[in-house]
Structure 1
Amino acid sequence: MHPDAPDRPGDAPAEWHIASILVHLRPERSPGVRAAIAALGDVDIHVEERGRMVVTVEGPHEGRIADRMTAIHLMDGVMSAVMVFHHAEPLAPRTS
């Protein structure tokens, strides 16, 4: 099971989500945007080039992905944040 999954079986997510987001930003705001994205948690910046970033987000449900994407979109210096990939992986049920 993923390390961020809840401890109690009744709360365990049925699947784990991962999504990639293409972020367009003002290049002069890159350091601030990079720091703000890193502070969100569950987010990794993979590539940054000429006002674009590729970011991945992971979480136990689609809501976590949507929350992070919205937060990025609303950051000062960000012009757009668009999901380009989303995958949900079923998790094996816990046996304990």
Structure 2
Amino acid sequence: MSGECHISSLVVHSRSDRVQAIIEGIRSLEGAEVHGGADTGKLIVTLETDTEGQVVERINTIQLLDGVLAATLVFHHFEPVQERE
């Protein structure tokens, strides 16, 4: 059986008074990590998902967080993954 592995990165621009709440909201999403930018309100985020649809879903969820001004996809890569028998 085979699947896919999708790796994406985003820059999430946020209101300075909502940064911590936004970070918590992002971290609550499966496969999402925040790697920095809290001091400037421009968060560096990576997503690791199984499908392209999940990438879109996570970006939409992030965009709807209170205080998010923009969530911009910077990089997306996917490749097939072979499961071990």
Q: Does the pair score TM above 0.5?
A: yes
Measured on the aligned residues, the alpha-carbon RMSD in Å equals 1.3
Unpaired runs of 5+ in structure 2? none
Unpaired runs of 5+ in structure 1? 1-8
| Higher strand fraction (1 or 2) | 2
The whole-number CA distance in structure 2 between the counterparts of 1:30 and 1:50 is 9
Query: Matched residue pairs, number?
Result: 84
Percent of residue pairs bearing the same amino acid type: 36
The aligned residue for residue 58 of structure 1 is 48
Deviations, residues 3-48 of structure 1 (Å, cap 9, x unaligned): xxxxxx3xx41x2000001100001101111111111121000111
The whole-number CA distance in structure 2 between the counterparts of 1:95 and 1:32 is 39
Q: Provide runs of 4+ in structure 1 moved above 2 Å.
A: none
AA matched with 2:25: A
The aligned residue for residue 6 of structure 2 is 17
- 1:38 matched to 2:55? The reply is no
TM-score, normalised to structure 2, is 0.90
Q: CA deviation at 1:95?
A: 5.4
| Greater gyration radius | 1
Higher relative contact order (CA 8 A, sep 6+): 2
- 1:83 matched to 2:73? The reply is yes
